[in-house]
Structure 1
Amino acid sequence: MTVFLVIIVLALLAVTGWQISKIFELSKSPDADTSQVANNKDNENQGKLMMGFAVFLYLLMFYCFWTFTNVTLPDAASEHGGKYDNLMLISMLLIMFVQIVTQALLHYFAYKYRGEAGKKALFYADNDKLEFIWTIIPVITLAGLIIYGLFTWTDIMSVNEDEDPLVVELYAQQFSWTARYAGEDNTLGEANVRFIEGTNTLGVDKEDSYAQDDKVVRELHLPVNRPVLFKLRSQDVLHSAYFPHFRAQMNVVPGMITQFGFTPTVTTEEMRNNGDIVDKVERINDIRRENGDDSYEFDYFLLCNKICGQAHYNMQMKVIVESEADYEAWLAEQATFGESMSEE
């Protein structure tokens, strides 16, 4: 009902604006120029407006960069994160350079070559040299970016099995995450949605010997400076495992297993003491105090970066990066899959 009323109000406002424009037309003096063809004064005004808009656009852009830099992510907390950030920085600098040059020329030419009485536009059929220049430069630039990006992507996605990475399954469902650690054998047991029954919410194969020492948890703990290989499964729809502070993301697709890995390099406690994070937490807590809310403390989170349904915003899991000793102590406290099933 509310949407219907909003539509009616907007329609009435449109009709009102149209009627007001008619009144202005009727109120013009008889000798007023009512021609729809632009004259010199119109062209002059439009040219100046184009230049004014260019100035406004650049001022707004630099203002946004200056004002909102403090809401960006801090330094990456993973081994590959620096390479990812460098690729993003190079891409953005190139895009900004091209944008500044082309937009400046666009608005300047709109002003310089504005219509004037008696001035005739020059018909310029083609120029092979110019066309070659503005074709070959983007080709070389894009080829360089693509090749650099491919090397970066390959380096990020290549998990060296010889380093004995920690194997963790991330299981997505509307609207939560569940993690399954591979246990002492570092090999995940087989799983299939057809095996989901009772407390076996991940569909782990009870008959698989590799599954007996797996550990299913709702909070993700990772040892610092140790490679982690994530195996991703979805129970229902397309999700996306997103670790913003680790610069990692991978789609979670129903019916198949996707994977990626990274090595966390900054513990949760170390990140809490990062200057950018300290400032950000203070700003957030100032707002929360004004609203009467509890104080906020920084934590890493695994998020879903696909709009996977109505409660998509709830799909997050806390991630704790800690020392190897603290991780081992926490893991030892978790019940194995075999123990959980024997209690049924």
Structure 2
Amino acid sequence: MTAFLYLVVIILFAVSVWQMSKILSMSKAGEDSSTSQIANDKDNKINGKLMLGFVIFIYVLAFISFYKWSDVLLPDSASEHGVDIDQLWLISMIIIFIVGIITQWLLHYFAFKYSGKKGQRATFYADNDRLEFIWTVIPVIVLAGLIIYGLFTWSDIMNVDTEDDPLVIELYAYQFDWRARYAGDDNILGDANVRLIEGVNQLGLDASDPDAQDDIVVNELHLPVGRKILFKMRSQDVLHSAYMPHFRAQMNCVPGMVTQFSFTPTKTTEEMRLDDEIIAKVEHINSIRSEKNVARAIAGEEPLELYEFDYLLLCNKICGNTHYNMQMKIVVETEDEFNEWLSTQDNFATTMKN
């Protein structure tokens, strides 16, 4: 792949040099008409046909892409607010595609239909109040509608109603891993500071803060289905981004400050594994891995493990050389299963004693 990219760069550089040499030759005085680079009627006609061919090409390419790779899109949202996010995205894409298809066709078709001819002059309007009104007002109305819709959606998502008694969890990012901290029985996160990080105190919890004593630090995130979760996010070193694609959730983790995001999971991990789209994707991935394992067996290499769907917390910022490996498993389960799992985890006070 790297060799192919190098080849593309070399080709593009050669094309650029060639084009620059043509521009220089056009700037020379005394050039005879036989080598003139000025476009004539034939050139304009050819370029008009190429423009028409190109717009047909991009339409065909878009259709093939949707047909062939639509299965790589995310499945239905597994959070309450994700439905609103998907709806906003769908409406925006429909408008963009409709406008794009129409404007691209007009642009390329007009270049073909009205290609330049010697002695022919284009119709010129110094001003046209009606046209200017139309192409100003329509975009303003459409964009204002999308922006207002987006602001209302964002406001609904970001406003956390504390009366819902959300479960408070901290997501702590560092190069190159995640830790999660549960607020314990009091549902209040204790104070923490990166300057206090030492030994088993990986998140820098303040041992003198009573609220920190029952906090629970884990490397696998468990969430109860149907309950609102309030995530408090910190970063130890550089800018990270907590990205949970199946929940349509993303928020930056910024060094020196606490950011937050909340959502309510609506599907357990087991329910998601029974989704038809997920089943098809898992089967497709495992068929690829099975084929690769045949070759790996012949080469005496360890086989690839068969894939099983899990929710994941990813970092969506390029935060360093092993950024790609920064992820944490998320398990969504029933309230009883969550409470049973949480009861088996050591709190901060117990960890410090051990």
TM-score calculated relative to the size of structure 2: 0.89
Q: Secondary structure at the match of 1:76?
A: coil
Shift of 1:32: 9.9
Shift of 1:132: 1.0
Amino acid at match of 1:136: V
Aligned to 2:324: 313
Amino acid at match of 1:78: S
Amino acid at match of 2:318: I
CA 147–14 in structure 1, closer or farther in 2 if over 3 Å, else same: closer
Amino acid at match of 2:353: S
Distance in structure 1 (CA, Å) of the matches to 2:123 and 2:145: 37
Q: Secondary structure at the match of 1:179?
A: strand
Shift of 1:33: 4.2
Q: Secondary structure at the match of 2:43?
A: helix
CA 14–141 in structure 1, closer or farther in 2 if over 3 Å, else same: closer
4+ residue runs of structure 1 moved beyond 4 angstroms?
A: none
1:87-98 aligned at under 5 Å gives the runs 87-98=88-99
Distance in structure 1 (CA, Å) of the matches to 2:315 and 2:118: 59
Q: Tell me, which stretches of 5 or more residues in structure 1 are unaligned?
A: 23-30
Aligned to 1:160: 161
CA deviation vs aligned residue, 1:269-324 (integer Å, no higher than 9, x gap): 00011000111111111111111122100000000000001110111000000011
Distance in structure 2 (CA, Å) of the matches to 1:250 and 1:285: 31
Aligned to 1:124: 125
Aligned to 1:299: 310
Q: How many residues of Structure 1 are paired with residues of Structure 2 in the alignment?
A: 327
Aligned to 2:338: 327
Distance in structure 2 (CA, Å) of the matches to 1:10 and 1:322: 53
Aligned to 1:183: 184
CA deviation vs aligned residue, 1:144-200 (integer Å, no higher than 9, x gap): 111100110011111211111110000000000000000011011000111111110
Q: Secondary structure at the match of 2:135?
A: helix
1:34-73 aligned at under 5 Å gives the runs 34-73=35-74
1:93-242 aligned at under 5 Å gives the runs 93-242=94-243
CA 314–224 in structure 1, closer or farther in 2 if over 3 Å, else same: same
CA deviation vs aligned residue, 1:16-54 (integer Å, no higher than 9, x gap): x96xx99xxxxxxxx994321222211111111111111
Distance in structure 1 (CA, Å) of the matches to 2:162 and 2:239: 27
1:272-287 aligned at under 5 Å gives the runs 272-287=273-288
Q: Secondary structure at the match of 1:143?
A: helix
Aligned to 1:338: 349
Distance in structure 1 (CA, Å) of the matches to 2:68 and 2:33: 47
Q: Secondary structure at the match of 1:242?
A: strand
Distance in structure 2 (CA, Å) of the matches to 1:163 and 1:120: 69
Q: Secondary structure at the match of 1:291?
A: helix
Distance in structure 1 (CA, Å) of the matches to 2:14 and 2:146: 47
Amino acid at match of 1:311: T
Distance in structure 2 (CA, Å) of the matches to 1:94 and 1:250: 26
Q: Tell me, which stretches of 5 or more residues in structure 2 are unaligned?
A: 23-31, 294-303
Aligned to 1:26: none
Q: Secondary structure at the match of 2:243?
A: strand
Distance in structure 1 (CA, Å) of the matches to 2:50 and 2:344: 68
C-alpha RMSD of the superposition: 2.1
Amino acid at match of 1:320: V
Distance in structure 2 (CA, Å) of the matches to 1:183 and 1:69: 42
Aligned to 1:28: none
Aligned to 1:25: none
Aligned to 2:256: 255
Amino acid at match of 1:335: D
Stretch deviating more after TM superposition (117-126 or 144-153)? 117-126
Distance in structure 2 (CA, Å) of the matches to 1:181 and 1:10: 53
CA 179–56 in structure 1, closer or farther in 2 if over 3 Å, else same: same
Aligned to 2:298: none
Distance in structure 2 (CA, Å) of the matches to 1:169 and 1:146: 31
Distance in structure 2 (CA, Å) of the matches to 1:294 and 1:324: 30
Q: Secondary structure at the match of 2:202?
A: coil
TM-score calculated relative to the size of structure 1: 0.91
